Amino acid sequence: MEPEIADLWPEYGMKSIFIYTWPDVFTGFGRSGPAGDASLASNYNWTLTDRYVRFVTSRGAKASLQFQITNGTDPEQSTPEKLGQVGFAIADRYMNGAGNSGFKDALELFDYYVEIDNTNEPSTLANYNTSFKFFAGFAKGVARASIRCGVGAWGTNRIVPTHANYSVYDPYVSQFYRDCKAYDVPIKAATYHFTNAQFSLNPYDIKTLTDRFRSEILAPTGFANLPIWVTQYDPNPSGVQPTSAQAIKDYNDPSFFASFTLGTSMYAQDTSLDRAMPWTGFGYGGTGAGNAPFQPWFNRSSATAIPLNVAAAWKLQGELVVSTPQRLQLSGSSSNGFAVLAGRSNTGSRVNILLNNYQPNYDIAREIARQMTPLMNTSTTAFPLIQSNGLFNGEQACFKPGNPLFYIPLCQSYVQAYIRENHATRYRLRVSNLPWSAQRSYKLVVQRVGDGTVHRVLLEKTGRGKSIDIILAFPANTQDLVSIEAL
């Protein structure tokens, strides 16, 4: 919670904020009698959560939260009914103002995330049956309080089944949505974590995974139109880093991180996703599972937060979607990393074109794969584990028990990795039929992120008419926002 950064949310077009560390509010798990009664207001402590939600709503945004409650799904300390009462209490407070909280419609989604869905072990199905009962209880409790927010699940990293003889059955994917339909469990969204890019470094995988998830899992179970949220994405969720000097340098280059992050968000525009939220998000960086470092968006300063490339690129995207929300058709965007989006203002007086030239160093992915494959269970992975191009092979990785990365026999599914051939060094932008008369003057401005600086105005000029035609050098991992505004 950094006020100097949060104050920038409106300027960056941010209206949905995800709270990853939601504190426990119910104090009665594992207790009996009145002390364990989830219907009593005295058994709740809202101090931290009120602070978190107010921090979000005071800046014009709505909050969603990762619900990974301590002991709430432990059958020895809780029950599905009790967890449902907790869900009701949270939703009632922040959606309906219960307890004179002062909140109204403050939440969008509970991302019900228990992580057990990633585990590959003989007891997976039994664990699933217990987990589903708790999920159903919680989801129904939230729905009793408000249908304007809702629950999504599972926040999984195994989104689709692999079509191979090494595929591991995952009831959290294959059975969960059928059970929700059969038992009339209310769900607002299917959620997943796009944290499976370290073997491919491919932002376009978010589209491939989402399309397959909808067609292979959701549609056959009666949820063809269920919203999908990606509640976490990043280029590498593990603590494994590249090893060579050049790969380390390129991996830590802010322009690489900016180009991957923005590219993922841009490709997500061409999916049926409702939300795609980057991890660790809009801040000063941090660490995750396995002490994995996540790059910062800002540097600290005694006076203000100093944007790095990823924040500056995100701001360009915010300018695109806020000032020119009507999307325009275009040609030239590619799944290989050269991504382009265009929009027009509601008044027809402005057109924006956002371009991203993503070109990773694939030695990063090769060196990560070489370190991770010895930790995998070869009976549940493709053979050979490494392709001839040095990238990881197959659509599934299951790790051995006791591995130093995850400690559990975790399984994840992937899109088959391959090298994306984007070698663009410049672009030619031709825009025709600008939405004003041929006699109208306009101002053209090109903002650039990358290319040796965090942000600068690369080009600024005026013209007249209904078309433009420009050619600009465009180095790897650079972003441009071309704005054309009628005068």
Higher pLDDT, 124 or 428: 428
Q: Is 446 helix (H, G, I), strand (E, B) or coil?
A: strand
Rounded CA separation 413/172 (Å): 13
Q: Is 95 helix (H, G, I), strand (E, B) or coil?
A: helix
Tokens matching residue 135: 């999920």
Partners of 25 in the beta sheet?
Answer: none
pLDDT confidence of residue 155: 67
- Mean pLDDT across 19-45: 94
Q: Which range, 11-15, 35-39, 396-400, has the best average confidence (pLDDT)?
A: 35-39
pLDDT confidence of residue 225: 96
User: The tokens 């059969």 sit on which residue?
Assistant: 182
Whether residue 167 contacts residue 120, with contact meaning beta carbons closer than 8 Å, is answered with: no
Lowest-pLDDT range of 86-100, 157-171, 362-376 = 157-171
Question: Which residue type, as a one-letter code, is found at position 156?
Answer: T
- Mean pLDDT across 298-305: 84
- pLDDT band with cut points at 50, 70 and 90 for residue 479: very high
For residue 122, pLDDT beyond 60: no
Q: Which helix (H) or strand (E) holds 210?
A: helix 205-212
pLDDT confidence of residue 248: 96
Whether residue 429 contacts residue 469, with contact meaning beta carbons closer than 8 Å, is answered with: yes
Domains for the chain: give ranges and CATH numbers.
3-325 (3.20.20.80), 338-360+422-486 (2.60.40.1500), 364-413 (no CATH)
The fraction of the chain above a pLDDT of 90, given in percent, is 73
Side-chain-side CA neighbours of residue 175 (13 Å): 13
- Mean pLDDT across 102-120: 85
- pLDDT band with cut points at 50, 70 and 90 for residue 20: confident
In eight-state DSSP terms, residue 371 is: H
β-strands 189-194, 228-233 pairing: parallel
- pLDDT band with cut points at 50, 70 and 90 for residue 368: very high
- DSSP E strands: which ranges in 328-478? 338-344, 350-357, 396-398, 411-413, 426-431, 441-450, 453-464, 468-473
In the chain the first and final C-alpha atoms are separated, in Å, by 41
Q: Is 60 helix (H, G, I), strand (E, B) or coil?
A: coil
pLDDT confidence of residue 414: 86
Whether residue 376 contacts residue 400, with contact meaning beta carbons closer than 8 Å, is answered with: yes
Rounded to the nearest angstrom, the gap between the alpha carbon of residue 416 and the centroid of all alpha carbons in its chain is 20
Tell me the average pLDDT of the chain: 92
Q: Which helix (H) or strand (E) holds 483?
A: strand 479-486
Higher pLDDT, 316 or 198: 316
Whether residue 475 contacts residue 355, with contact meaning beta carbons closer than 8 Å, is answered with: no
Lowest-pLDDT range of 17-26, 113-122, 179-188, 221-230 = 113-122
